[in-house]
A and B are shown apart, each in its own frame.
Chain A
Amino acid sequence: MTLETAVTGAPGEPELPAEQLERFLYEMAFIRRFEEKAGEMYTRGKIRGFLHLYTGQEACAVGAIHALEERDKVIAHYRDHGHAIAKGVDPKRVMAELYGRADGTSGGRGGSMHIYDTSKGMMGGYAIVTAHLPVAVGLGLASSMKGEGFVTLCIFGDGSVGEGEFHEALNLSVLWKVPVIFFCENNLYGMGVSFAESLSTEIPKLAAAYNMPAVSIDGMDVLEVHRETKKAVEHCRSGKGPYFIEAMTYRYRGHSMSDPELYRLKDEIEEYRRRDAIESLRLYMQERGLVDEQRWRQIEERVERDVEECVAFAEASPQPGIETLFEHVTKESGDD
């Protein structure tokens, strides 16, 4: 397999400091391994329900979320493990949530599609397609009305654009000039319907029609994702309203673990793997003398260890007690 690097930085000096590049490399590799492991644990019956893996799309979460500050918020669709991890949610607790255990991010109530950790600004995990786009607008409204200045990065798939709420949210966001980045991870498919067959136009044109800046970028190039999201963050932070990014990417696995994948050919997956985000960044760093074979092996070993630690943590975490079933249906009054 010949690799065509997706990372297109200028020759010579690296675009970002070496430590940051290595952090990106480690985190993308970690998310990939985490997801592969989750898939494995699903086949072994440790994880149940719907599991949507993020392999192939790592550059989106890592590039975009690291353009944010800690106080900024992320709100995402159900393919959410990578986003949570990149936002700083403890991956051990994410794995425990997939296991449905007491130490999971929602104590085992939410599962894979519903990962929340408000202490890290991870607002979820939404499994009803497009439901979180208007919610992002509201978060943006809270940020501007309270003068808090945090930016909300709202991540969703290409499948969202056919829903009415997509259009409602975009329109509201411009009318109210909210600091929200709409970040569409276009992985070319909804479940099995290709995005080309479900949209009569191009995604950035939709956003442009609502009068907000809109760009289409290479979602396999973590540096480009980072660069472009930084611009979007600056735009939002300076009070200019929402911003739209379409990141072209690809999911390597089926839509969920139960996808028979009748709608695409293996060749297509191989084609996209040639521009793999992790390999591309590694090549970029290697060419600049920032990572050699040995260093890469060390990173891989660390990734393996860290993922194993997540699994061990989840395995050791207790089941939530049945007596907790009725907790948190409504909030007890007087708490606020």
Chain B
Amino acid sequence: MTEMRMRDALREALREELKRDSRVFLMGEDIGAYGGSYAVTKGLLEEFGPERVRDTPIAESGIIGAGIGAALGGLRPMVELMTINFSLLALDQIVNTAAKLHYMTNGQMNVPMVVRMASGGGSQLAATHSHSLEGLYAHFPGLKVVCPSNPADAKGLLKRAFRDDNTVVFIEHTANYGFRGEVPDDPDYLVEFGKANILREGSDVTIVGYSGSVHQALRAAAMLEEQDEVSAEVVDLRTLRPLDMDTVIKSVKKTNRAVIVEDAWKFGGFGGELSAQIMERAFDWLDAPVARVCSKDVPMPYNRDLEFAALPSEEDIVEAVLAMF
């Protein structure tokens, strides 16, 4: 085990995969000379050269399309889209091409491509640069969607993504990049997709989250224990597709209460899907309606106080939990 930040764990995964498999290559905007906009790819250009660590023009749709073609041609591309905000320019290629080819060709083609992007608000980047669209990608059959919350998972899930025969949308919350944790040194360390992680055991309420919101859930759980003697269980989904609903349901059947936390908007969001599935599978075990703690229904404002008010907080989670008793 080595302690490192999440950005370093991601870099380790990329480095190991580049070494392990000669078909793997990376491309994206400013991943080379600039050192990566969040320093994830820093040093990889120097180590692996411009053939395998490619700086691209600003052309999101073009590079995703090229990644799809490279995958069809037998390579294992990782395309970095800088942030999820700019991934919207490539949404067509991801949704209409990458996610569909395997099905439409009746299994003749598949697109083994990893698409990495940073996500999330909280940095005062305002409305165009603060999106949390994990749930949007989870909406499309044919894609896998991964959202790590800590360094060990980030490494194990990213290495696992390179071994997948499908397009994996790998979404990293910017607030998590600096988050430290112990990471296994084993180069074969993988984290399976579709396995949620119980980060904290509890008996009174289940708080379900992913990516950045997991840390808020943990802080809220600590507050609940100290101030209110409420014992909260925290479930980190880790992947939204495939989704490990069994772990969530099992937890809810134990605690009889569920609160879903996400940075995204509530309306039409992924939390609604979770809530519906809990209702479908554990209705008789619920002592209160499922609650959702999400962003306010506004584009993200720049001003610090307004942004803070727009984003979910640990206080909001505590409040939602207490309202269930």
Contacts and interface: CB of A to CB of B under 8 A. Distances in A.
Interface of A: 48-50, 100-101, 106, 108-111, 113-114, 126-130, 159-164, 190-194, 197-199, 259-260, 262-263, 319-320, 322, 324-326, 329
Nearest to B302: A111
B306 A108 contact: yes
B216 interface: no
A187 to B, nearest CB: 14
The 6 closest A-B pairs by CB, nearest first: A192-B34, A162-B57, A111-B302, A198-B57, A100-B303, A108-B303
Contacts of A126: 128
Given A162-B57, A164-B59, A325 B309 contact: yes
A331 to B, nearest CB: 14
Contact of B129 (A50, A100, A191, A193): A50
B89 interface: yes
A185 to B, nearest CB: 15
A159 B56 CA distance: 11
A113 B29 contact: no
Given A191-B30, A192-B35, A325-B310, A128 B61 contact: no
Given A113-B129, A262-B33, A320-B303, A190 B58 contact: yes
A322 B309 CA distance: 7
Given A110-B127, A113-B129, A114-B128, 15 more contacts: A48-B123, A101-B303, A106-B302, A108-B306, A109-B306, A114-B126, A127-B128, A159-B58, A162-B56, A162-B59, A192-B30, A319-B305, A326-B296, A329-B297, A329-B298
Interface string B10-47: 00000000000000000001101111010000000000
Interface of B: 29-30, 32-35, 37, 55-62, 85-86, 89, 123-129, 296-299, 301-306, 309-310
A190 B128 contact: no
Nearest to B129: A127
Contacts of A324: 306
Contact of B125 (A50, A190, A192, A326): A50
B296 A193 contact: no
A100 B303 CA distance: 5
Given A160-B58, A322-B306, A100 B124 contact: yes
B162 to A, nearest CB: 25
B58 A49 contact: no
B61 A48 contact: no
A80 to B, nearest CB: 13
Given A48-B124, A100-B302, A128 B86 contact: yes
B58 A163 contact: yes
A196 B57 CA distance: 10
Contacts of B298: 325-326, 329
A87 B298 CA distance: 30
9 contacts: A49-B124, A100-B302, A110-B302, A130-B58, A159-B57, A160-B58, A161-B57, A193-B55, A325-B306
A318 to B, nearest CB: 11
A197 B127 contact: no
A311 B204 CA distance: 52
Nearest to B310: A325
Contacts of A48: 123-124, 304
A228 B60 CA distance: 33
Nearest to A108: B303
Q: Which of the listed residues A101, A163, A199 has the most CB atoms from chain B within 10 Å of its own CB?
A: A163
Contacts of A320: 301, 303, 305-306
Given A128-B128, A190-B58, A260 B35 contact: yes
Contacts of A326: 296-298
Contacts of B297: 326, 329
A20 B55 CA distance: 44
Contacts of A108: 301-303, 306
Contact of A190 (B30, B85, B89, B303): B30
A127 B126 contact: yes
A49 B126 contact: yes
Contacts of B59: 162-164
A262 B124 contact: no
Contacts of B60: 163
Contacts of A111: 124-126, 302-303
A260 B30 CA distance: 12
B303 A109 contact: yes
A319 B308 CA distance: 13
B277 to A, nearest CB: 29
B303 A49 contact: no
A161 B62 CA distance: 13
A29 B126 CA distance: 29
A150 to B, nearest CB: 26
Given A128-B85, A199-B57, A325 B126 contact: no
Contacts of A325: 296, 298, 301, 306, 309-310
A109 B235 CA distance: 34
B62 A114 contact: no
A100 B300 CA distance: 13
A97 B83 CA distance: 24
Contacts of A162: 56-59, 62
Contacts of B128: 113-114, 126-128
A194 B33 CA distance: 9
A199 B61 CA distance: 16
Give the residue among B35, B125, B306 with the most A Cβ atoms within 10 A: B306
A262 B41 CA distance: 13
